[in-house]
Structure 1
């Protein structure tokens, strides 16, 4: 259920990978969601499994909290990876799909990609296309083989 005090639209925009990294460093329980935006998402407060069409009991989103196994690796690289993992979605779903930052309460359920499902969502800001480009550059500098989680 949407918090009646949460804004229906967002005016804030995260404009750099460094800005996203700073938010991850200073705040817990942030999530990233790729969709048409909070105005549409919060009207339904649910997601659908793309394969089966099953309605999920909350909005699917990717957590940005750093896992303990990440150790002392650069937080900027963590932020880039979390953004880059689903950067294929505008190309395979709908060109209007964009990433946005949010907070919310995890329902305890998981989506089909093992992502948390959220209720009481608070939209925090759009993620600018420049941040995606910076994430792609950061990923390209890594030594391993790595790509978005695109399915064919």
Structure 2
């Protein structure tokens, strides 16, 4: 059903969409098995807290709108960071996709929970690879994916 969504093939495409959202919609990036799984009900989707199993009232997603505190830094780097933060989910077979939605709360990691109004596009592996490369080029060694499992194993 959603497999025929357009696919954004490069980081510049993600950046352009992010900077000029369709019809003024708020866009979010989500890593998951895709909208066919996430939106199998009629309520805009829900996530589950992996630690407790609690059903959440929306989909965990990252907002694509650039925050004011980002200043005049590159919008392309902002987009790259959004893709990078949850890139470890590829190991579980999850893919990034962009959705138009409405913020409906916060999850246990203070991430936005979103009601999906409509899926917008898939993000191709090539765009993710570009994002990873751009982030890895940054001078700080403090960048790291938001990978709870990796940070837990490193602290043990």
TM-score by length of 1: 0.88
For structure 1, the 5+ residue unaligned runs are 1-7
For 1:142 and 1:81, locate their aligned partners in 2 and report how far apart those are by CA, in whole Å: 11
Is 2:14 the counterpart of 1:14? no
Correspondence for 1:116 among 103, 112, 115: 112
Partner of 1:83: 83
Residue 121 of structure 1, CA deviation: 2.7
Correspondence for 2:102 among 105, 129, 137: 105
Runs of 4+ in 1 over 4 A off after TM superposition: none
2:51 partner SS: coil
For 2:145 and 2:9, locate their aligned partners in 1 and report how far apart those are by CA, in whole Å: 21
Is 2:61 the counterpart of 1:54? no
Residues 142/53 of structure 1: CA separation in 2 closer, same or farther (3 Å cut): same
For 1:31 and 1:82, locate their aligned partners in 2 and report how far apart those are by CA, in whole Å: 9
Q: CA RMSD in A?
A: 1.2
Partner of 1:35: 32
Residue 120 of structure 1, CA deviation: 4.0
TM-score by length of 2: 0.86
For 1:57 and 1:51, locate their aligned partners in 2 and report how far apart those are by CA, in whole Å: 16
For 1:99 and 1:135, locate their aligned partners in 2 and report how far apart those are by CA, in whole Å: 12
Say which structure is richer in helix. Answer: 2
